[in-house]
């Protein structure tokens, strides 16, 4: 459901920003620093993007960055490894770890005064073949041992370098036939092995992560978790149970993968507020807004304006709730978006393949500019040279 004032504003933005200049235009000598998402963000809010370090950051040279790398540094003060910390990438064989992609993400962040959100420790998808094969005969204790070793190794390696972790990701399965949701005790190999008491295992994953890095904030995270619905009711009840048991769970993440084929749940702020009332942080962790495209592959003006409205609505909910720590887009340009490969839709990010800023970007920038209190530190010297 659209808010008329917001719709008018993003429609106006769409009219002026649809022909935005490419980000590679050099700055005029002596020009004032360009506003960026990170420079306009409130000091207590991280603005992030996902990035695949293995693909985009292994060749990083701060003195000669690629255009993508320059934009990533200029626009965001937080980055999330899109794939580099998932099991299949970082733990491809028993006892074998490949830290190259994750290390590249952390090194890039440190070079550019950014922070890192870790993603993810317990998930049913993108597990390596050895986990899939071995889990068929695991006892619960065997599953626990494998998972504990993995969590302590990964979190311990990056202790002090990651400010938030998506610890348990998508642990609830939508169960439309039965009118609700259920824990993924079939698809998740670890929960399946411990199906008699999966909540105990989930709690221990948080405990292991906390022991490995006591400073990191530890999150539950899921899609379709923006507004108040059956799934977030289940997470709310789970969070209460975990907290009552002394589990160090610190936050609830709403991924924010939206499609214009469906409506927008305007209860997102109310949902954030109820988790905040439990003493938890909240975050938008993977925002994008995809849409069906016509035969020409181009969105309509209406779609462009509605996309901007929805990106902005998620940000507004975050800004309006003091417990919201971060707002992360799941990649910032269409060329690297996961959407076309997974959904028959597109145009899901805030920049085009040529790094032109969409109205969605402009809507976010305006809301960050208007937010209080204060501004985040500007981009490190020499990096903010884009689109002057």
Catalytic residue check, 286: yes
Place of tokens 């399965």: 173
Q: How far apart are the first and last CA of the chain?
A: 36
| Residue 328, SS3 per DSSP | strand
170: phi > 0 → left, psi -120 to 50 → alpha, else beta; which?
left
Among 10, 67, 78, 49, smallest CA distance to 377 is for 78
Q: 321-356 as b/e, with b when 16 or more CB fall inside 10 Å? A: bebbbbbbbbbbbbebbbbbeebebbbbbbbeeebb
Q: Are 282 and 276 in contact (CB under 8 A)?
A: yes
Catalytic residue among 82, 161, 226, 286: 286
Catalytic residue check, 164: no
Catalytic residue among 40, 164, 170, 309: 170
| Concatenated DSSP letters of 297-313 | S---HHHHHHHHHHHHH
Longest dimension (CA), the chain: 66
Please identify every residue annotated as catalytic: 170, 286
């Amino acid at each position: 459901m659209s808010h008329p004032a917001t719709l008018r504003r993003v429609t106006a933005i769409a009219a002026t920003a649809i022909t935005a200049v490419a980000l590679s235009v050099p700055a005029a000598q002596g020009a004032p620093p360009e506003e960026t998402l990170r420079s306009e963000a409130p000091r207590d809010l991280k603005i992030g993007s996902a990035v695949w370090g293995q693909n985009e950051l292994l060749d990083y040279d701060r003195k000669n960055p690629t255009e993508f790398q320059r934009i990533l540094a200029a626009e965001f003060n937080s980055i999330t490894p899109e794939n580099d910390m998932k099991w299949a990438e970082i733990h491809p064989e028993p006892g074998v770890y490949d830290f190259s992609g994750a290390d590249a993400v952390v090194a890039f962040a440190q070079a550019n005064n950014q922070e890192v959100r870790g993603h993810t420790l317990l998930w049913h998808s993108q597990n390596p073949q050895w986990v899939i094969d071995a889990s068929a005969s695991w006892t619960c204790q065997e599953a626990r041992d494998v998972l504990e070793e993995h969590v302590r190794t990964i979190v311990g390696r990056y202790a002090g370098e990651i400010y938030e972790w998506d610890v348990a990701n998508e642990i609830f399965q939508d169960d439309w036939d039965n009118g609700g949701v259920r824990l993924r005790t079939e698809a998740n190999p670890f929960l399946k092995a411990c199906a008699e008491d999966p909540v105990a295992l989930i709690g221990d994953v948080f405990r292991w992560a906390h022991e490995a890095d006591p400073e990191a904030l530890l999150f539950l995270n899921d899609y379709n978790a923006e507004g108040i619905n059956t799934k977030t009711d289940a997470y709310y009840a789970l969070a209460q149970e975990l907290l009552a048991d002394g589990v160090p769970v610190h936050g609830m993440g709403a991924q924010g993968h939206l499609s214009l084929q469906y409506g927008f749940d305007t209860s997102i702020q109310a949902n954030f507020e109820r988790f905040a009332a439990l003493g938890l942080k909240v975050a938008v962790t993977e925002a994008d807004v995809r849409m069906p495209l016509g035969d020409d592959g181009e969105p309509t003006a209406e779609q462009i304006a509605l996309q901007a409205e929805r990106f902005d609505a998620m940000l507004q909910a975050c800004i309006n709730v003091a417990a919201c720590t971060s707002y992360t887009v799941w990649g910032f340009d269409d060329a690297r978006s996961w959407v076309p490969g997974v959904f028959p839709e597109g145009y899901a990010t805030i920049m085009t393949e040529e790094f032109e800023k969409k109205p969605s970007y402009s809507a976010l920038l305006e809301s960050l500019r208007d937010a209080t209190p204060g501004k985040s530190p500007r981009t490190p010297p020499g990096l903010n040279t884009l689109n002057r």
